[in-house]
Amino acid sequence: MASGTTAPPPPASLPRIVAASLIGTTIEWYDFFLYGSAAALVFNKLFFPDSDPLVGTLLSFLTYAVGFAARPLGALVFGHYGDRLGRKKLLVLSLVLMGGATFAIGLLPTHASVGTAAPVLLTVLRLVQGFALGGEWGGAVLLVSEHGDARRRGFWASWPQTGAPAGQLLATGVLSLLTAVLSDDAFGTWGWRIPFLLSGLLVMVGLWIRLSVDESPVFKEALERSESRRRQGEAEKLPLVAVLRHHWRDVLVAMGARMAENISYYVITAFILVYATTSAGVSKQTALNAVLIASAVHFAVIPAWGALSDRVGRRPVYLFGAAGIGLWMFPFFALVDTGSFGYLLLAVTVGLVLHGAMYAPQAAFFAEMFATRMRYSGASIGAQFASVAAGAPAPLIATALLADYDSSTPIALYVIAAAVLTLIAVGVARETRHRDLAEVTAEEGEQAGTSPAAEARTA
């Protein structure tokens, strides 16, 4: 099979496409992570004030997990129409939905004003956030993957992945600034609303950039071939049906690959705000600052890991990250327990660097598993269905383990078990870095019953 034969876009256009994907994913993750940080810091008091503080935190994280439950539905809906209509249209819609829901959270009345209606409204808006994010990731990474050539796909496709730490950086930075300049009373009364309302401005900027890019040429070619077959009377299978028929093994690999990556990330960035402030005696401001600095390092290393995956392969980099995160968990909590800012920063930074080794090649790795006319559906389903079992309950499970055992050991073992699952999934997968996304088309996979993974094995 040819490698790197897809004609790359003009040099000036690829950075613009990367910027459009990156600004969108940054805003989407800003909105999503802002909720997670607020859930750990203030939502327990504002929306669940009648509960014990730790129970209130659990309930707050439960609404946080609800957003993950909506992500598979978003993956199914956005994946279906993204494979039928194109990546760009659906990416615009996901940005509007996410930004609108986040802005509305900033306007919500609290439990003190409307009683139980407050957490109900909060949960509904969280569902909209999860639905939008479930459709965002697949489209953003595919828009970049399908524009570039195979030789540097890992590097370019890793840039939308930096939207996660960039969003975390932005969300944590805004919260850190507000908690530094406002009193606890002012922040809990009205200051927490400011970061959510800022989302409206960010969405306008994101839409302006995202509307300026074109649809991927790989998708356009596949759509033309599909239309030609339809005119000849050949029926095209639904993307979801085609994925489940020809790519179910690839979906399972993607889900397994997500376990350690997803669980470790939310333990390191969301749960740590609870653990550091309650068990390690660290101030809220200190914990936020540690996550803020570590997120900046995380942002910087992701493209480097992506470039390395272009040289040595997706699997070796991914396996290194999974093994590393498992081995780091006990030292991670030991460093946090010291209560020292320097050790806390070291713990979070090393954890996120190791996480980046999994997260960076993930975009290209998942895109290369699926054929063009089912790629949005396949990549989104594999990624987002795993998030229900991985990232959704991670802060909730970690908080419950802490409440039951008053120890970090069960939490470390929880992350290690996820790392073992990821090592198995990626270990049995095939290397994909030499695949040309235009070489194996949806037509070949659907008509012959052969998945791109099978085509690669044949080559």
pTM here?
A: 0.81
Q: What is the pLDDT of residue 138?
A: 84
> Residues 6 or more apart from 299 whose CB is under 8 A from it?
162, 165, 166, 169
Say what the pLDDT of residue 18 is: 86
Cβ contacts of 300-305, under 8 Å, gap ≥ 24: 301/353, 301/356, 301/360, 302/158, 302/159, 302/161, 302/162, 302/165, 302/356, 302/359, 302/360, 303/155, 303/158, 303/159, 303/162, 303/360, 304/360, 305/158, 305/356, 305/357, 305/359, 305/360, 305/361
SS3 285: helix
Average pLDDT per 10 consecutive residues for the chain, totaling 459 residues: 44 74 82 76 77 67 76 87 83 87 90 84 87 85 79 91 88 82 86 89 82 77 72 66 81 94 91 87 86 92 96 96 97 94 96 97 91 83 86 85 92 97 95 76 40 40
